[in-house]
Amino acid sequence: MTREEIKPTFIDILKKYTPSTIIWDSITENDSIIGKLNVNSARFVDLIIDVEDAFEIDIDDERMNQIITIKNGIDMVESLTANP
Amino acid sequence: MKNDNIRVVITGLGVVASNGKNASDYNESLIAGKSGIKSIKELSDLNFGCTIGGIAELNIDKNAFFSNNQLDKANNHIQLACIAGMEAYLDSGLTYNPENEENVDWDTGAIIGTSAGGIDTIGDLVVPFTKAQKPRKIGTSAALNITGSGASLDLANILALGNKVSANSSVCCTGTEAILDGFHHIKSGRALRMLTGSSEGYSPYSWAPMDSLRVLNSRSNNSPETASAPLNKDGFGLVLSSGAGILMLENLDTALKRGAEIYAEILGGSVNCGGRKSGGSMTYPNKEGMKRCISEAVELSGIVPQDIDLINGHLTGTKGDVLEVSVWKELFEHTDYFPYIQSTKSMIGHGLGAAGSLESVASILQLHNGYIHPSINCEPVHPEIEKKINTDRIPKKCIKKEDLTIIAKSSFGFGDVNSCLIFKKWEK
């Protein structure tokens, strides 16, 4: 899948886990998911499960730990949908 | 700071019951003799013998704390416990600060017991996903949802409780025993306040074994509101329900110092087991065990039997009701006196692990507001009970009683466990 195809779905999933106070217009791909976007770290695994289900991929623990920013997440999906 | 003179009082109440979404609503329903029992379509779809019961509906519209703390991911028994627990906490005059990230209340704890706990999560989520070889898809909320003290843990997280945070489990005695455990914990000087009680969610999985045991009333599916009939000649069996009852217990000195409003005092109580001997079984109690329990509760509370104005009984609508009345009668055998006696289960059914706490909240509401609620559906009273006591001791309509002072709350559980608490109205 291309980044253009992945990004909207990825952002939609993120929005399920971010507080309503986040102003999305000011968010960039380099912003951190748990830090800047304030996603509850205890729910991060649920977010990853939703991403796995949406793109039909498996994200193992090691790969999950590499996803810090939005860009990391989209890159991960891109690489796993290209080379499952 | 162990002090033999520590007294324990009740400074807050919280409840979600099948006939009352909060304490004030519950109070109105008890006065009106309103039943919470209805037909439950899911149970008939699943081929249960008994297709009726009481479901405690969550009153979450006005509860901002519910969504702020993501309680929408918690299962039913935890949601019920947190709603009731928050109500009791705020009712006691304490302040909830949603922004608090640091301060812990080391002096307040929680013991919220349950019987089946998170069985809904286990049956609907954990088992299917695991059997489908997808355990990693279960999601993060399940771990806490299935743990025995999940309710106490979630409430402790919301309220920053720093004292003992635990759960007890003793089937039908769970709620009564939780209150007694909290009482002892405060009396020993280990805490100033304890949120105590119990919670039981609605799930066909927890009710199915009871249906299979043939202890439920399967004859009254067409008349849900008259199906729960404690003390009745035709008590055809249990009618189950869900709900949660929480009492804020507090060290009397602390309560007085902060100007808290006090509902009642716990004078004492007792728990024991009949060992399922001498006629006792999983579903029928050992008479000697019951008698020892209530006698000890009375003695430890520093009262005599004649001080009891009202017995809020276990009384479920089974043959155990006759035994229960006769055991209480024996406690009064040297006098002509017998207290009023009632069954809250007549209106709300049997809340399983939540029963003792739902009924304790009912007891405190009656003490505080000066009335005795009716035992609906009790007529015709069982002839063996009529032989033992004058049946005008069983109010069929609400009685105003401003001088109601001492209530004995008894629970006699599955597996032959017994418990009894003695509550005394607080005089200002």
Q: What share of chain B is helix, strand, coil (3-state, %, to 5)?
A: 40, 20, 40
Does A42 contact B at CB distance below 8 Å?
yes
* B137·A43 Cβ contact <8 A: no
Q: How confident is the model at residue B1 (pLDDT cuts 50, 70, 90)?
A: very low
CA of B140 vs chain A CAs: smallest distance (Å): 6
Summarize pLDDT for A6-23 with one digit per residue, the tens: 999 999 999 999 988 899
CA distance B180 to chain A (A): 34
Our CA-based measurement puts residue B61 at a distance from the nearest CA of chain A, in whole angstroms, of 18
In terms of Cβ atoms closer than 10 Å to its own Cβ (0-12, 13-18, 19+), residue A81 is middle
Q: Which residues of A touch B140 (CB under 8 A)?
A: 42-43, 45-46
**pLDDT tens, position by position, A62-75:** 999 999 999 999 99
**Which range has the worst mean pLDDT, A67-71, B322-326, B415-419?**
B415-419
Nearest CA in chain B to A50: B137
ipTM confidence score: 0.86
Mean pLDDT of chain B: 95
Measured from the Cβ of residue B396, the count of other Cβ atoms closer than 10 Å reads 17
- Contact flag B140-A43 (C-beta cutoff 8 Å): yes
* Sign of the alpha-carbon torsion through B256, B260, B264, B269: negative
Give the number of A-B residue pairs with CB atoms closer than 8 Å: 14
Q: Taking an 8 Å Cβ-Cβ cutoff, which residues of chain B contact chain A?
A: 70, 136-137, 139-141
**Which strand (E) or helix (H) includes residue A73?**
helix A70-82
Closest CB from A42, A52, A53 relative to B140:
A42
Q: With 0-12 CB in 10 A as exposed, 13-18 as middle and 19+ as buried, what is B332? A: middle
Among the partner-chain residues A45, A52, A53, the one whose CB lies closest to the CB of B140 is: A45
- In tens, the pLDDT along B176-212 reads 999 999 999 999 999 999 999 999 999 999 999 999 9
Residue A82 distance to chain B (closest CA, Å): 23
Is A19 within 8 Å of chain B by CB? no
Whether the CB-CB separation of B35 and B273 falls below 8 Å is answered with: no
Q: Which of A46, A52, A53 sits opposite B140 (nearest CB)?
A: A46
In angstroms, the separation between the Cα of residue A49 and the nearest Cα of chain B is 6
Q: How far apart are CA B354 and CA B78, in angstroms?
A: 12
pLDDT in tens, B97-152: 988 889 999 999 999 999 999 999 999 999 999 999 999 999 999 999 999 999 99
Question: Is any Cβ of chain B less than 8 angstroms from the Cβ of A49?
Answer: yes
Report CB contact under 8 Å: A49, B141: no
| pTM (predicted TM-score) | 0.94
Alpha-carbon distance of B60 to B79, in angstroms, equals 9
- Mutation target to probe the A interface, by most A beta carbons within 10 A, among B67, B71, B136 is B136
